[in-house]
Amino acid sequence: MDLLLQAMETRVGKVQVATLRQVAPRAADKLLEARLLVATGRIPVVAAMDGYEDEAIPAEWCPERGQYGYRDSVGRWITVEAGEIAACAVDYPLVLAKMLVAFERAGPSRPNPLIDGFFWDVGTIRLTGAKSPVPVWFARRLADPAVWTRLDALLERRPPEEVRVILTSTPGDRIPTTVSKRNVIVGVADVLGAPGRLAISPHALGARVFPGQVQRRFPIDHSEECGLVWHRGETLTFGGDKQRRLLQILFAAYWSKSPVVRIAAGLEEAGYGGQVNTLKKAFGRRNDWQRFIRFDDGNCWIDP
């Protein structure tokens, strides 16, 4: 799912298949097999290895040779296989249908473009806590100031009657703040029901849209997927499958009254791999997690 959301965030909305397979070969093949990514022409740019320098250059079509290629620094023609520059794009109707499969949804069979290539009207969903069906939009690249300006203008022209959910492929920590309380912008990665699955959790989304209706334990509680942690009256938001999975492991231990978890074992189970071996690396630049997580002598635990 991380790879799919990254593909959505690309500037032109499509990406080379070869590039995807270099980044995450198994994930790329699964997305292509599921047709969440579909073939869409070519991106004629290659990384030319010339004099031990990796430089991105355009691949040109040669009618005489009937092939793509480029000339290196000494003028030799270097052939580029068609598969190297084949491109794919996200099938948004299919992806959005799978995102909202757990909801009772009404609206057009295909999302209606609001601004072509960036914003779509997906219809309405039934959401616990709402008096009536909630309209849902989808947006991408909200961290781009130009794109955000267009969305901000669109929201001003089309205010919702009560509340509207705007789902986005942009990571939650990169979404700009909007002054409109009726437009709730939610990063898809923060409300997925399970790691590696595209279906959004109704409980997790409901907690984001209507946080005041969630019954919370004191001094600490969390949403189903641990994207939200409520600590002594403060709401902390966590994004990314691995961070949420690590929090799930720690909270499972906390509620079972056996709170201590070995740091190495927790990071491995959360999927961080060998390169991330400390909690500080796992949580990145933020340090608010230290308000309720303690660590010592290779162990960590929830301590609210």
**pLDDT surpassing 80 at residue 38:** yes
With a pLDDT cut of 90, the percent of the chain lying above it is: 51
Q: Which residues contact 98 (CB under 8 A, 6 or more apart)?
A: 36, 198, 199
- Alpha-carbon distance of 148 to 177, in angstroms, equals 10
H or E element in which residue 147 lies: helix 145-157
Would you state the structure tokens that stand for residue 51, as one six-digit string?
């004099």
- Alpha-carbon distance of 116 to 150, in angstroms, equals 12
**pLDDT surpassing 80 at residue 68:** yes
Average pLDDT over residues 221-244: 85
Q: Answer whether 192's CB lies under 8 Å from 214's CB.
A: no
Would you state the structure tokens that stand for residue 114, as one six-digit string?
């609001």
The pLDDT value given to residue 54: 61
- Alpha-carbon distance of 234 to 207, in angstroms, equals 14
The pLDDT value given to residue 153: 92
Which amino acid is located at 42 in the chain? R
**pLDDT surpassing 80 at residue 55:** no
**pLDDT surpassing 60 at residue 52:** no
Q: If you ran DSSP here, which 8-state letter would residue 16 be given?
A: E
Q: State which of 52-66, 180-194, 195-209, 242-256 shows the largest mean pLDDT.
A: 242-256
**pLDDT surpassing 70 at residue 63:** yes
pLDDT band at 13 (very low <50, low <70, confident <90, very high): confident
Average pLDDT over residues 230-257: 89
**pLDDT surpassing 90 at residue 204:** no
- Alpha-carbon distance of 73 to 153, in angstroms, equals 48
Average pLDDT over residues 226-242: 85
Q: Which of 210, 208, 172 is nearest to 188 (CA)?
A: 172
Mean pLDDT, the chain, whole residue set: 88
**pLDDT surpassing 80 at residue 214:** no
The pLDDT value given to residue 59: 80
3-class secondary structure, 153: helix
The pLDDT value given to residue 50: 58
Pairing of strands 164-168, 134-139: parallel
Evaluate the omega torsion of the peptide bond into residue 171 and state whether it is cis, within 30 degrees of 0.
no
The pLDDT value given to residue 49: 59
Average pLDDT over residues 205-233: 83
pLDDT band at 64 (very low <50, low <70, confident <90, very high): confident
pLDDT band at 210 (very low <50, low <70, confident <90, very high): confident
Report pLDDT digits (tens) over 262-297.
999 999 999 897 789 999 999 988 899 999 999 999
